[in-house]
Structure 1
Amino acid sequence: MTNPESVPPSSKKTAPAGDLGALIATAQRAADWSATADKLKNGVVRARQIVFALSILGATAATIAGQMPSTGSLRTIFATFGAVALAIAAFVSGRSLRAAQIAPWVRVRAAAEALKREAFRFAASAASYSDVATASDLLNGERTKIDADLGDIVQITATRKGSSPREPLTPDEYRKLRVRSQIDEFFLPKANDAYRQAQRLRRFEFGLALLAVIITAVSSVTGKTTFPFTTITFDLAAFTALLTTIAATVLAHIEGSRLEYLASSYAATARRLEDEDSRFSRAVANDWSGFVNHCEDIIASENQSWMAKWTRATDSRPAASANQ
């Protein structure tokens, strides 16, 4: 249990009630931008899923159509479906998955996280918010600067308060609501989830590639180039090409979703916060502002890395590769 007498003034709940307007406004703004970012992200995720599914379906339908007799309505149906699916995938990719379309989500998420960081610094009375006389003005100024670059984006009003603090925090409250919450409820679970998703897709891609190799090896020994597939005699070269195309689409989806990057980056950030958390007791007594700012800098560093990763070339066009 922390001895209240040992807690430095900068880490006590010192902000008077009249000074909380800036904190409440910042917390609400962070919640609103976070809700906006979630909506933008959902659009990107849906678009990526649509492109992934239609690329596979389109390539499969086009390959099947290529194995059918040139006359017949069934071939036309498969060929048409394949062409339409690949065209829609290319259209959605071009409209929703280019850097210009993803940039608003990244910008809004970065702003929401920046507002949240300033709110936690203020609520914890860490430098440069340790002076009650100037803290509110500084926070209002930071909120205005963070908000300045988002004038072209329509903000959504949040229906929930969000995770930003709306009142001063004791050291134990800051540790629980910010440091431990980020480690135990965000970075580690997100890292594990991204890792599992990436591994499932990697195993799927490996199975497809292995099957293509086996079929190619068997056909080279037996000399067979076709095998019966219901009423269709399927060309083995076309089938292995289809497997290779689907495998490439899976790899493009993994890269486009940044799953492996997120798994490693989130896990590394959790470890850094764990290391900082281990010095909590000493920091309360000796360097509270340093502890808070270091924790916030760790989170900010991960956010900046995340932004850089997403703002690089984001085009992942499996639909186009399926046509070639």
Structure 2
Amino acid sequence: MTQDESAIAAVWDQQNVWSRSADRLKKAVEGARSKALALAILAAVLGTGSAQAMGRNEAAGKALAFAAALAAAAAPLFAQRGGAARLSDWIRVRAVSEALKAEVYTCLARVGPYRDLAGAGALLAERGRAYRTDGGDLIRYTAGIAALPRPLPPVTDLDSYVEHRLRRQIETYYRPKAEWMRRKVVLAGRVELGLGGLAAVLAAAAGVFSVGGLAAWVPVVASVSVALTAHAIAQRYSYQQLEFLRTAEELERLLARREGAPGAVGTPEAAEAFVAECEHVISIQNEAWMIRWTVG
């Protein structure tokens, strides 16, 4: 491996470290939010159960009330771990990772500032250091994470860039992610509808058949439905689905334009403009969901 290739491989490894760090942070944020949601639901269920059990078994009622209080007290603690500060850190770590990835692919395609083959690796290393310096306060999240062994992307020119960067982003990332988010949106809607139906059945049974204790569970089911809906909104499933689809279609438009007029990117300047436009579309998608996650 040449010195130039070693420099590129080093930045590629650094990108993997930042990417894995972002994945770990995302998992922590989403895990904390899910636990907070589960504890809030558990507190509501146990609280209602304790009120109904108190008349039959005081000890059991008190135990349920105590458990409900613990769950209610713990929920905000977990919610804080998935709050704005940790969310912001995750987004910034992901931004560094994506910036490094874009630089590596641009370098391997030998366009833009990397057209000079002799100094491409050194320039990439310098730009990579600049990105990591900008995220200097986030380096603590990379502690204990090593880069996984992986080869450099097999990109050497514009054609291989299209195959291994552009097509791969469309076919193995944006389209599958959009479908995954669509399923989450559908599932959230079905759960919300099911809980609404359950609340209606409980209310009807309590009123028509005078079934004791059922009426107390109606607001619990309604609260659970509201909590799950709020969780789905916080996760921004619908917005993410839209952004993934929009980006896939925009990249496909660029790909179709290139395939329809291959001579349009026959010069180094045209190839540079094409790669820059592709990376711009990808970066716009990243920036869009980052802003959306931050401001809600």
- Aligned mate of 2:160, from 173, 176, 186: 173
CA distance in 1, matches of 2:221, 2:59: 25
- Aligned mate of 2:123, from 138, 145, 160: 138
Q: How does 1:144-159 map to 2 (within 5 A)?
A: 144-152=129-137, 153-154=139-140, 155=142, 156-159=144-147
AA at the equivalent of 1:272? E
Report Cα offsets for 1:276-295 as digits up to 9, x if no partner: 11123425425211211111
Name the CA shift for 1:39/1:197 in 2 (closer, same or farther; >3 Å): same
Q: Does 1 or 2 have the higher relative contact order (CA < 8 Å, sep 6+)?
A: 1
CA distance in 1, matches of 2:218, 2:25: 38
Q: How does 1:1-324 map to 2 (within 5 A)?
A: 17-70=2-55, 72-94=58-80, 96-133=81-118, 135-152=120-137, 153-154=139-140, 155=142, 156-161=144-149, 165=153, 168-216=155-203, 222=208, 226-227=210-211, 233-236=212-215, 238-281=216-259, 282=262, 283-286=264-267, 287-312=270-295
Structure 1 unmatched ranges of 5 or more:
1-15, 228-232, 314-324
Deviation of 1:182 (Å): 0.8
Q: Which secondary structure does the structure 1 equivalent of 2:222 belong to?
A: helix
CA distance in 1, matches of 2:98, 2:21: 12
8 Å CA contact retained: 2:107, 2:124: yes
Q: Which secondary structure does the structure 2 equivalent of 1:234 belong to?
A: coil
Report Cα offsets for 1:118-139 as digits up to 9, x if no partner: 1101110121322335534432
CA distance in 1, matches of 2:152, 2:254: 21
CA-atom RMSD in angstroms? 2.3
Q: Which secondary structure does the structure 1 equivalent of 2:182 belong to?
A: helix
Relative to the length of structure 1, the TM-score reads 0.81
AA at the equivalent of 1:234? G
CA distance in 2, matches of 1:81, 1:201: 28
Deviation of 1:144 (Å): 1.9
8 Å CA contact retained: 2:4, 2:119: no
CA distance in 2, matches of 1:294, 1:188: 19
Q: Which secondary structure does the structure 2 equivalent of 1:173 belong to?
A: helix
Identity of counterpart residues, as a percentage?
A: 31
Deviation of 1:201 (Å): 1.7
Name the CA shift for 1:25/1:291 in 2 (closer, same or farther; >3 Å): same
CA distance in 2, matches of 1:24, 1:75: 62
Q: Which secondary structure does the structure 1 equivalent of 2:176 belong to?
A: helix
Q: Which secondary structure does the structure 2 equivalent of 1:288 belong to?
A: helix
CA distance in 2, matches of 1:37, 1:280: 33
